[in-house]
Structure 1
Amino acid sequence: MNADLAKQWRMLDLQALDTRLTQLAHKKRMLPVLAELETATKQQAELFEEVVLARTAAQDVEREITKAEDAVQLVRDRAARNQQRLDAGQGSPKDLQGMQHELETLARRQAELEDEELAVMERAEELRATLARREAQKAEVDEKIVSLTNQRDEAIAEIDKESNSVAAQRDQVAPGLGADLLGLYEKVREQCGGLAAAALTQRRCGGCGLELNASELARFRNAPENEILRCEDCRRIVVRTSESGL
């Protein structure tokens, strides 16, 4: 294929724009804030589960406290009734003796229940502290995610702005190659991982970086100015310039 040297140089301009678009797309995918946001999001999910578990445990122990308080109050009420009857002397001496014995039993039972209640209350205090700590940690991560999301959106907006500008320039440059040369360029770009055209600089292919051997050098030197040349090693389009060293 043949094409005016000016069009070949224009193809290098197009390649530069496409290379920049590729770089911007890579930059967008690899923004450091994306990894930070992913990590923070995982932490948020883990802390959410921990908060749910801590809240459930705290609610369960609150019910235990209520149950323990009710049990203590039940014993206190019964002891109070027996004490009133005992103080009033209601019943036979045997009954009064039995009530006195029961009061002693109730006192021991009340002490046991109060110890159990105290233990539950201490456990409840620990669980409340754990819940508060987990909620504080989650709130901190939630705030961090908001900040990271804003950073991500700002960075992406900046990249998109440049990408749109470069794409607009590409739309202006590409038609200048002509349909045939542009078609070849796009085909080679697809085959060669995005880099289709490169300048020959100091006898080296700008695509693969290899120096031309003697036969290739002679071929490039003797080829007509408008001939489209390809690198024998990487098969990319090679454009001759004043820096080619021919």
Structure 2
Amino acid sequence: MKADPAVQRRLLDLAEVDAELSRAQHRRRTMPELAEITEAEKAVQTRRDAQVAIQTQLDDLDREVARQEKEIDAVRAREERDRALLAGGTVGAKQLTDLEHELATLERRQGVLEDDLLELMERREAVEMDGKHAGVELARAEEKLADGVRRRDENLTDIGTIEARRAEDRTKVLSGMPADLLAVYERRRTQKGIGAALLRARRCGACRIELDSREISRIREAPADDVIECEECGAILVRTPESGL
């Protein structure tokens, strides 16, 4: 393949643009914020799940407290009724004995229920404290996630700006580029990552391998408009006074 030496040198500009675009794409894929966000999202979900579990415990305890209070109210109402009967003086001796026995039983029952209620309230208070701590931990996790998202978005904006500018540069470099030369360049870039590189001091700028004397002789003898490719990596080798030929 033939191409004007000046056109071949433009491949170096194209390769530089593509290298920066590749770096931007690599940075987009591998920015540390992506891993941070993934971990932060897991942490947030874990703490949200913990909050849900704590709220479920609180709801269960609230229902148990309400049931206990209702039962205490029923015992108190029964006790008040019995005491009213006693105070009325209208009951016989046997009923009086039964009422006194029942009052003693109700008093013991109320004591047990109130002790149980106190224990429930203490448990609820402990769970509520856990809920407050879980809320603080969730807020911290959400703050860390928001920070990671903010930094990721800033990086993406920066990367997008670089890509847009270099895409414009690429369009300018491609203007007037021979289609057959460009096709070879794109094929090599797809296969090896670098389509063209400077031959500097007898070393390929793509694979960094120093060419042997036989290859250097071949390149030296080739016409200036010949398109030369590296035997090792296939990249188009652009010759300049720096090539050491």
TM-score w.r.t. the length of structure 2 is 0.95
Q: Which residue of 2 aligns with 1:232?
A: 231
Asked whether the equivalents of residues 90 and 96 of structure 1 are also in contact (C-alpha less than 8 Å), the reply is: no
Asked whether the equivalents of residues 185 and 235 of structure 2 are also in contact (C-alpha less than 8 Å), the reply is: no
Q: Which residue of 2 aligns with 1:63?
A: 63
Unaligned runs of 5+ in 1: none
Asked whether the equivalents of residues 58 and 131 of structure 1 are also in contact (C-alpha less than 8 Å), the reply is: no
Q: Which residue of 2 aligns with 1:204?
A: 203
Deviations 1:202-234 (A, max 9, x none): 111111111111211111111111111111111
CA distance in 2: counterparts of 1:79 and 1:66, whole angstroms: 20
| 2:202 is equivalent to residue 220 of structure 1 | no
Moved more, 126-135 or 168-177: 126-135
Counterpart mapping for 1:14-163 below 5 A: 14-163=14-163
Q: Which residue of 1 aligns with 2:8?
A: 8
Per-residue deviation, 1:136: 2.5
Asked whether the equivalents of residues 200 and 243 of structure 1 are also in contact (C-alpha less than 8 Å), the reply is: yes
Per-residue deviation, 1:148: 2.6
Deviations 1:82-133 (A, max 9, x none): 1222233231111111111111111111111111111111111112122222
Residue identity opposite 1:21 in structure 2: L
CA distance in 2: counterparts of 1:217 and 1:90, whole angstroms: 129
Give identity over the alignment, percent: 39
Asked whether the equivalents of residues 200 and 206 of structure 1 are also in contact (C-alpha less than 8 Å), the reply is: yes
Per-residue deviation, 1:168: 0.1
Unaligned runs of 5+ in 2: none
Residue identity opposite 1:53 in structure 2: A
Q: Which residue of 2 aligns with 1:245?
A: 244
The CA RMSD over aligned residues, in Å, is 1.4
Per-residue deviation, 1:147: 3.0
Asked whether the equivalents of residues 185 and 195 of structure 2 are also in contact (C-alpha less than 8 Å), the reply is: yes
Q: SS of 1:191's equivalent?
A: helix
Residue identity opposite 1:242 in structure 2: P
Residue identity opposite 1:148 in structure 2: G
CA distance in 1: counterparts of 2:82 and 2:140, whole angstroms: 56
CA distance in 1: counterparts of 2:6 and 2:234, whole angstroms: 21
Q: SS of 1:3's equivalent?
A: coil
Q: SS of 2:237's equivalent?
A: strand
